[in-house]
Amino acid sequence: MHWVTLAAVLLAIAAALVVQGYAHHLTTLAESSAPAAAASPAPAAALHGGPVIDPREGVDTVTPHQRTIALTFDDGPDPTWTPRILDVLRKHHVHATFFVVGTAAAEHPDLVRRILDEGHEIGMHTLTHADLTTSPQWRANLEMAAGQSAIAGATGETTALFRPPYSSEPDALDAADWQIIRSAGQDGYLSVLSTLDSEDWRRPGVQRIVANATPQGDAGQVLLMHDGGGDRSETVAALDRLLTQYAADGITATSVSAATGLKGVMRPAATAEQWSGTALIATLWGSAWVVGAIGIALVLSGIVMVVRAVLVLFAASRHRRRAREVALRRTWTHDGIVSVIVPAHNEAAGIEAAVRSIAASRRPVEIIVVDDGSTDGTADIVEALGLPQVTVIRQPNGGKPSALNTGIAAARGEIVVMVDGDTVFEQDTVERLIQPFADPAVGAVSGNTKVVNRGGVLGAWQHIEYVVGFNLDRRLFDIAECMPTVPGAIGAFRIETLRRVGGVSDDTLAEDTDLTMAICRDGWRVVYQEDARAWTEAPASLGALWRQRYRWCYGTMQAMWKHRGAVLQKGPAGKLGRRGLGYLLVLQVILPLFAPVVDIFAVYGLLFLDPTRIAVLWLAFLALQLGMAVYAFRMDGESLKPLWTLPLQQVVYRQMMYLVVIQSLFTALAGTRLRWHRMQRYGTLTVPPAVTTG
């Protein structure tokens, strides 16, 4: 059901974007350029007749009365210029005809109503000011019907007056223009052309507009001016002068119907027409709100990503300097026992390599392998190694937290290291991992987890994620003192700390995150030791990766909810709550939830906005990711070769990760108890080359 819900939401957003794209940006998409000869040529009666044309029965044309100007304004309403033009008309007690664009009428219905309330009349100028002569028939029909609907929805009335966009005088009609006029006539429209063009759209200056709009002789004219489509300050100034001049010259300026004697050009809209218009306006308003909200969210998410990059890089640099300083003066030696606990359930593929690598540590350790009801001979493999420092404990299958608690109970060391059964250590890993415990305030230490099976595109992607995402974030968390997770692959804990928090809880599927948060809330510091490396197997198939990340993500959400009270606490707990949980909420929950919308908006931008700008923004985002990746790889001493897969990661892997977050959130909201998904083992683990087992 959650996928159906997601699909419905994304389709609704896509529909809103398409509506806005069409309404405000689409002017040439799917246009055709059929030759004018394909249509009937304009008849002589239209070419040499009046500017108001009725093509329904033959060709009837009408010309304004002598010494009369039919004053018309196109491309509005505009919230800035239409009110000023209306003020000038009211000042001179003159009425006019406004040929409104449907989208503008829908955005500013109050202005359209004001036009009518002040005695003016409305004409239709299509929905988006499309050039109907080059548009396919479906679009021409849509432009006409939707343009009228917008007027009906805004005013409760419809109009019989229509002005084709980009039209001019009757004698300029060609075959394509005539085809539009004929088609409009079949729908009951009178097409209103112009005979006097003020050319205010050129912004030639007030004096030039006045000269262009001054008639020569006594013949009636239809004057073309504009109240929308750009800066119309010159139009407003010129109109005031013109109306004063017309009055002085005895010229009547009025609307099209008054100038020609036409009746009934405006009529009340039928109920269906009004409902249709209201629905259109609501759709345009709703889609505009959606696009606006997405725009704001995109800006905010961009800011968050840039701020995160700056914080992470700053913290990583500071953490690295601090780590070097500590390494130079490292003198602390732990004289007590270090216990390494390996919980194992059906780990036959890698358990030998894991145990041998730990046993080969330069720092002597006690190794406790807790076999949690394995059915593949895991415990037998470990016992057959005959390693004296290794103890095998068998127990019925009770889950990983149960196995860890069994190991903790059996541990003799003051420091406990927990390691997964699919992980191998280097010789110095344990010694380096326990160094931070020289500070008595430190309760737990996270090591540096590396992907061992990093071959292929999927392996490279996970390798990048571990180095760039997980480890950079851990450096930030360490500096900010709000570490939310010590990974199960490699972590060290004071036994005292574990006992104070009650051991490992099975309340969540992310027992490592749950445990770490509990330790922070108990007042302990949790730090990151970057030179303590462990090598682990990563999922080798998309299905296995999905199951692993689903468990991680869902478990993290459970832990965040369980420890939400830390937000109101003080000290280390408060740092975890306000810094760590806040970071996880924004970066690992909210932004991934918004990611599908970003992708849809990117497609929208390529279709309706400036494709070059969209491509540049995407490349800038990729460059930011690449810069962070190069820095992180250099810090970890890694080869940069896997970074060639980074662009693909942004268009494949990222989508998979945000779908995991979405499914996890729906699972959490539904209150479903997710079962444990055990990862398949591949047997790729080997004892690190530098390690010798004697």
Please measure the distance between the N-terminal and C-terminal CA atoms of the chain and give it in whole angstroms: 57
Residue 111, judged by CB atoms within 10 A of its CB (0-12, 13-18, 19+), counts as buried
Active site residue 334: no
Q: Are 419 and 425 in contact, with CB atoms under 8 Å apart? A: yes
Q: Are 87 and 240 in contact, with CB atoms under 8 Å apart? A: no
**Which entry of 24, 108, 125, 226 is annotated as an active-site residue?**
226
- Strands 196-197 and 221-226, sheet pairing: parallel
Q: Are 256 and 218 in contact, with CB atoms under 8 Å apart? A: no
Q: How far is CA 297 from CA 268, 303, 666, in A?
A: 41, 10, 22
**For residues 665 and 521, what is the distance between their CA atoms, to the nearest angstrom?**
24
**For residues 684 and 669, what is the distance between their CA atoms, to the nearest angstrom?**
38
Residue 14, judged by CB atoms within 10 A of its CB (0-12, 13-18, 19+), counts as middle
Residue whose structure tokens are 């001979």: 377
**For residues 403 and 202, what is the distance between their CA atoms, to the nearest angstrom?**
81
Q: How many CB atoms lie within 10 A of CB 113?
A: 17
Q: How far is CA 15 from CA 29, 267, 614, 675, in A?
A: 17, 32, 20, 37
HEC readout, 544-570: HHHHHHHHHHHHHHHHHHHCHHHHHCC
**For residues 637 and 556, what is the distance between their CA atoms, to the nearest angstrom?**
29
Active site residue 25: no
Torsion of CA 425, 427, 428, 429, to 10 degrees: 10
**Which entry of 24, 54, 74, 473 is annotated as an active-site residue?**
74
Phi and psi at residue 227, to the nearest 5°: -115, 5
Catalytic residues: 74, 226
